[in-house]
Each structure stands twice: as structure tokens, then as C-alpha cells.
Amino acid sequence: MIPDNVNRDLIPNELLQTWAQAVRTRITTVLQAPRSTLGHLEAALAEEAPNLLRPILETAAQRLVDQQPFHCAICHAPLRAEARHRRRTLHAVFGELPLQRDYGWCPTCDAYGHPADAALGLHAAAAASPRVQEIAALVSLRSPYAQAAQDARRLCGQSLNRASLQREAWRQGQRAIHCRQADLALARTPAGVAALSARSGTAALAPFTLIIEIDAWNIRERDDWGRTAARRRQGQEPERWHWVFTGTLFRLDQRGQTAGGRRVITQRGYVATRQSLDDFKEQLYAEALLRGLLNAEEVLIIADGAIWIWKLAEDRFKDARQRVDLFHVKEHLHELARTVFGPGTPEAQQWLQPLLRFLEQRTDGALEVLRELEALAPRLNNLAEPQQAALHREIGYFTTHHQRMDYKQAKAKGEPVGSGAVESTARQYQTRFKCTGQFWSLAGDEALLALATLYRNERWSRLFPHSDAATAKQWMAALMNETN
């Protein structure tokens, strides 16, 4: 129990009275001004609040610092003090906080440090308090840095400029990559696999199907910053498109429908990386474990026809069923009909329509389509070479994929026939990563992709423990019990 006089020091009466007087004056001014609105009142109070809250936060934060054990972060042995009361000014939500903390040395580990920094959220190179770090990270996920800096200024009164915001987002992205690496390391050992699987919370569920949808899109990157003109003179293009591999994972029972008939997925996992296909494969596997891979009765992989996806599936998800996106398959047939019979001709439609029906309505519909394609070949002998080539390409496509076209069965089981979920996932990423005139540096895009993915996967509290509402509630309840 904290003594009353100590609590009074936290919020001195003098501070309260001075502040109350300032607020009264301020409100009176707003009320007397012509054309004042509620917005003016809100803005005035939002501006006044830090004058009260910043000194309170400063005192409380110094208490937090002072109550931290002066222990080595590695071996937890008491540190030898190297310097007392070292000052550091921290950018926090209500303004600058000057704080003092001790600096020590561990003879065993030969390590130096400020042990209180962990409680202040001051990981390597952090310039701001945890809440400001979180605001910087959140606004950076929504819009380009210059815009995000303006939003942070307008909404939270944070004086973050474009460069500091970008630096902070990159730093948080590195922390997100670090979290991801921890999960990937677990996925490499049997004990770790069991731990990831336990985190999925799916052990006691009724038999379920885990659906994994995979796709790729690309972002524009530029390296050699500042050397664009020089490289162009050498005949080299300084920018290029680079793949971002993307996956989304959910259980079939997490897929529902709104009253309006729109498909919704209540909860799902995300993977997105501009690293190699092997990296993506590892990340997808770890995420699948976290979404219940080991407890799933069935695993279903849905994607467009790209061969790398099926290779990945065979490599990592051997027993999974595979389905190629229905829309892509239909597009193949539409394209072929245009090529062979001419765009918009009645013959094209006449040939196409039954085939589209076979696909969705018959058990072996894709095989029937394949037979129709093969039957078409002799009729095309007198046709030009490009048309014959197109037909043979599609015969190859249906020969390779017909077993992945079980649309009638899919509909009967209430499973998705297409990879729309991952396509909408990709579009969501693209609203941030494919803005007009935007280029990414190699390191910058992976960091922000990792940060965005951690956020989507609802693991934000691994970077910002204060953001976890459930934990905060428990913590408050414990505190109330203690003080009552």
C-alpha cells in the first residue's frame, strides 16, 4: 500500500489549481468568441490537457524508474553503479519527459546498461516513449510517411516529421522481424512446433478444415538512392518490380456470410514477405502451425495456377488438398474461345457456355472440359499456328490442373472455390505499399511488411505490451484488489 502523502506528491494541489484556472480562462475565451463550435472547445481542452498530465507523467515515470531493480539484464545479479542519476529526455505523449536513471556494470557478463530502460520501452535507439512509438508505427501503416506525420500532428499533437517517423517505423519493423524470427526458430524443432501449435488454441475444437490461400503481387523498389541519374547514364534502370509473396490462413468455420450475402472471415492469419520463396515457405509453415495445422482434419490450399505455389504445397503441406481458383480457370477458357472463334462471336459463346457449366455442376467437370479441348484439336488443323498453340497450351493447363478443379464438391462442402480471400489481402497491403510514385528500399519494405503483418495477426502487444486490453484489465483488477 502506497502512503497517502506520496500519492499527493504525484498530483500536487498547486498544480491542479493553476491548471484549473488556466482552463477556465481558456474556455471563457472560446465561449466569448463568435462562431465557436464544439470542435473549438475540444481543441482548446486537448491543448490544455498536457499542461496537467505531462508533470504528472514525469513524476510517475520517475517513480517507475526508481522502483526497477538494479540488476543485470542477462544474469540478474546486482549491478555495480557506474553513474547515478543519468539524465535522458524522452519524447512522450504529453511532451518531453526529463528522467534520471542509474547506469551500471555487471562484472560477470562484462555488460553495461541502464536497467530501468526496459520499463521505459527504451530498446536500442528508441527516441520516444512506448505510446509515441506505437502512434508512429500505427500511422505509418496507414499512409505514406509525410501524410502520416501530418496526421500524427493533427490527431495526437505529436511533432514527428517525415524522417523521424520513417526511422521509427523502420525500427519497429525490425522488432517485428525479430518476433517473426523467434517463431521461425520454434518451427524448426519438435518442441517448438508443439509450442506454436499449442498457441493456436485449436486442440479441443471439433474436426476442422484449415484453408491456406497463396498469391504474389509486386512492389516497385529502388536501390542506390541518390544515384538514379548516374545509373541511368550508365544505361542501368535504378528501379524494378519485386515480388511480395502473400498468404492468408483461416478455418472453414471462420468463414461466414453477412445478412447481405457478403463473404466475411471472422479471424485469419497473414504472411507477407519480399524475401525469397524459401523464406516465404518457412513463414507460411510457422503461421499455419499458429492457426492449427497439426489439429486440422483437412488442409486445403487455394491459389491461381502458378507452378511455384504447388511446388511449395507439395514440399511443406504434402497431405493438403489443392484447388486452383475458379475465376482464373474460367478466364483461361474465355481467352481460348476469343482466340479460336474470334472475340464476341456467337460461336465462341456457343462453345464456351456448356464448358463453364461443366466446371461448376459436374463431378468430373474439368475432365469433360479437357475432353472437349482435345476434341477441338482435329477441327483446328486448318487454323493458323497461334490458335493451335493456344489450344495446346490449354490442353496442357487442364491436364496439369484438372484434379485441382473440384468445384462441384467444393460448393457441396461450403468451401471457397476461389482465392478471393488472399486477393483481397493483397489489395489491403497494396493500399499502403503501392501508392502512386512510391519506391521502396530493400530494407524498408520488408520492415514495414513485417510490421503490417504483425498488426494484422493481432500480435501488436508483443511490441507494445500496453496495447493489450485484456492484460491491462487484469492488471487494473489486481491493482484494485491490492488497494482495497
| Binding site residues, Zn ion, CB under 5 A | 72, 74-75, 106, 108-109
Q: Shortest distance, CB of residue 104 to Zn ion, whole angstroms?
A: 10
Amino acid at 8: R
User: Residue 115 or 418: which CB sits closer to Zn ion?
Assistant: 115
Q: Is the separation of the CB atoms in 411 and 361 below 8 Å?
A: no
Q: Which is nearer to Zn ion, 22 or 77 (CB)?
A: 77
Nearer to Zn ion, 105 or 170 (CB): 105
CB of 75 to Zn ion, least distance (A): 3
CB of 107 to Zn ion, least distance (A): 8
Residue 117 Cβ, how far from Zn ion at the closest point, in Å? 15
| Residue 109 or 356 having the CB closest to Zn ion | 109
106 vs 296, beta carbon nearer Zn ion: 106
* Contact status, residue 249 vs residue 336, Cβ threshold 8 Å: no
Give me the least distance between CB of 66 and Zn ion, in Å please: 21
Least distance CB 166 / Zn ion (angstroms)? 35
The nearest distance, CB 77 to Zn ion, in angstroms, is 5
Nearer to Zn ion, 80 or 242 (CB): 80
In the complex with Zn ion, the residue whose CB is nearer, 30 or 111, is: 111
Write the secondary structure of the chain as one string of H (helix), E (strand) and C (coil): CCCHHHHHHHCCHHHHHHHHHHHHHHHHHHHHCCCCCHHHHHHHHHHHHHHHHHHHHHHHHHHHHHCCCCECCCCCCECEEEEEEEEEEEEECCEEEEEEEEEEEECCCCEEECHHHHCCCCCCCCCECHHHHHHHHHHHHHCCHHHHHHHHHHHHCCCCCHHHHHHHHHHHHHHHHHHHHHHHHHCCCHHHHHHHHHHCCCCCCCCCEEEEEEEEEEEEEECCCCCHHHHHHCCCCCEEEEEEEEEEEEEHHHEEECCCCCEEECCCEEEEECCCHHHHHHHHHHHHHHCCHHHCCEEEEEECCCHHHHHHHHHHCCCCEEEECHHHHHHHHHHHHHHHHCCCCHHHHHHHHHHHHHHHHCCCHHHHHHHHHHHHHHHCCCCCHHHHHHHHHHHHHHHHHHHHCCHHHHHHCCCCCCCHHHHHHHHHHHHHHCCCCCCECHHHHHHHHHHHHHHHCCCHHHCCHHHCHHHHHHHHHHHHHHHC
Please state the closest distance from residue 74 (CB atom) to Zn ion, in A: 4
Q: Which is nearer to Zn ion, 104 or 416 (CB)?
A: 104
Cβ-proximal residue to Zn ion, closest one: 72
Nearer to Zn ion, 52 or 72 (CB): 72
